[in-house]
Structure 1
Amino acid sequence: MLLAGAGCQAPAPPVLVLQPLQGFPAPLAQSVYKQLRHQRVPVVLARPRPLPRAAYYRPRHRYRADSLLRFLTRQFRADTVVIGLTRHDISTTKNGHLDWGVLGLGYQPGRAAVVSSFRLRPRSVSTQFYKVVLHEIGHTQGLPHCPEPTCFMRDAEGGNPTDAETSFCPRCVARLRDQGWALE
């Protein structure tokens, strides 16, 4: 894909697979799918799959995001990036906390991410969820957290800053374009 003004050939982005997991609302999956298609992302909306029992963390009634990433990576070809979509609470080990609840987690870089709607405010769940999906796509493409407070790649730092996020900052856009992604 030749990007206008780039002056060089960028690689084509991999196919993005949205993988709803057991119980994820179909309208929310469709909303994210349509928003990504609008951005001309090569995206496929897969049929729902059951959550793997091995990822369930009984003491906190959550699913371990790292276990979900391993599961998702095994389900699809190496030339895809898969984003698991769940309504269940997810967690990872972070900053010395064994079970830190998160909005999403993605391999950085890598081929898989998982995003949860569990911690999002009901009044704007569709917009917030889409922003978290974009954030995790950024991680799969190697983007670290960004210090820019309005960038989709900012660190949530244990909260939900999605209302303050407006777009990828120019630095993050440039890095994504270098990878063939025309996300704004």
Structure 2
Amino acid sequence: MKYFAFLLLFSVLSCTNGKNENNKENQKTIQKVIVIQPLGNFKVAQAKKVFSEIKMINPNLVLRKNIDFPENSYYKLKNRYRADSIIKSLKSKIGEDSVIVGLSNLDISTTKNRIKDWGVMGLGYKPGKACVVSDFRLSHKNKNQQFYKLVLHELGHTAGLPHCAVKTCLMRDAEGGNPLDEEKDFCNTCKSFLKTKGWQLI
């Protein structure tokens, strides 16, 4: 009888442990809802193109209507918008299960080291709930392709990825330039990390 009771207890514990493991696995692979937020007069067609491209790696996707840039984000001296102020405003507009990316056609900037106002193509904190990208500094020749890579780069930061030393990786540090044409895909290490976050990458 004692032996039977022991077996029953062992079976219950095994099932419980199995469920816990499965829950942990599911939590790992469920990707957050990505909210695409066009800013200012960002072109609707361009926003829809980004939407369709990202949908291939995450079906949990929402495209919102254009909104104005946050009032406190405009830096009149350089006629550009502060990326950090945009991010702060955007992250207050989503739930815990989401990450939001702002799309801009206008120039954006942030503070970098001793430079108070450093022009950037994009900004995203790692990990974070919001990021912003701009096509203002991109090549006219490959703008659409570069813009998509830029969106993925900043979303990679929000998922928790740092900059990568692999020169062809999408997480490469731009270092003040524009190496997007040299970037081909996420490297194997970055790709493996993003897969644990639910990204549907090949």
TM bracket, shorter-chain basis: over 0.9
RMSD between superposed Cα atoms in Å: 1.1
CA shift, 1:40, in A, is 3.5
Aligned to 2:196: 178
* SS in structure 1 of the partner of residue 169 of structure 2: coil
TM-score by length of 1: 0.93
Amino acid at match of 2:142: S
CA contact 2:36–2:51 (8 Å) conserved in 1: yes
* SS in structure 1 of the partner of residue 86 of structure 2: helix
Aligned to 1:3: none
Q: Which has the higher contact order (CA 8 A, sep 6+)?
A: 1
Aligned to 1:112: 130
Query: Which residue among 34, 43, 51 is the counterpart of 1:33?
Result: 51
Aligned to 1:130: 148
Query: Which residue among 84, 87, 105 is the counterpart of 1:87?
Result: 105
The 5 Å alignment of 1:142-161 reads: 142-161=160-179
1:57 is the counterpart of 2:75: yes
The 5 Å alignment of 1:9-20 reads: 9=26, 10-20=28-38
List 4+ stretches of structure 1 deviating above 6 A.
none
Q: Distance in 2 between matches of 1:182 and 1:107?
A: 22
Aligned to 2:6: none
CA contact 2:125–2:158 (8 Å) conserved in 1: yes
TM-superposition CA deviations, 1:88-137 (whole Å, max 9, x none) = 10001112111111000012101100000100112211100000000001
CA shift, 1:39, in A, is 2.4
* SS in structure 1 of the partner of residue 123 of structure 2: strand
Q: Distance in 2 between matches of 1:139 and 1:102?
A: 15
The 5 Å alignment of 1:39-50 reads: 39-50=57-68
Q: Which moved more, 1:152-161 or 1:173-182?
A: 173-182
In terms of fraction of residues, the more helix-rich structure is 2
* SS in structure 2 of the partner of residue 59 of structure 1: coil
CA contact 1:41–1:181 (8 Å) conserved in 2: no
Amino acid at match of 2:90: L
Q: Distance in 1 between matches of 2:201 and 2:65?
A: 25
Percent of aligned positions that are identical: 47
**Runs of at least 5 residues in structure 2 that lack an aligned partner in the other structure:** 1-24
The 5 Å alignment of 1:63-102 reads: 63-102=81-120
* SS in structure 1 of the partner of residue 37 of structure 2: strand
TM-superposition CA deviations, 1:19-75 (whole Å, max 9, x none) = 000110111111110111122441111111011121001111110000000010111
Aligned to 2:7: none
* SS in structure 1 of the partner of residue 142 of structure 2: helix
Aligned to 1:167: 185
**Runs of at least 5 residues in structure 1 that lack an aligned partner in the other structure:** 1-7
| Aligned residue pair count | 177
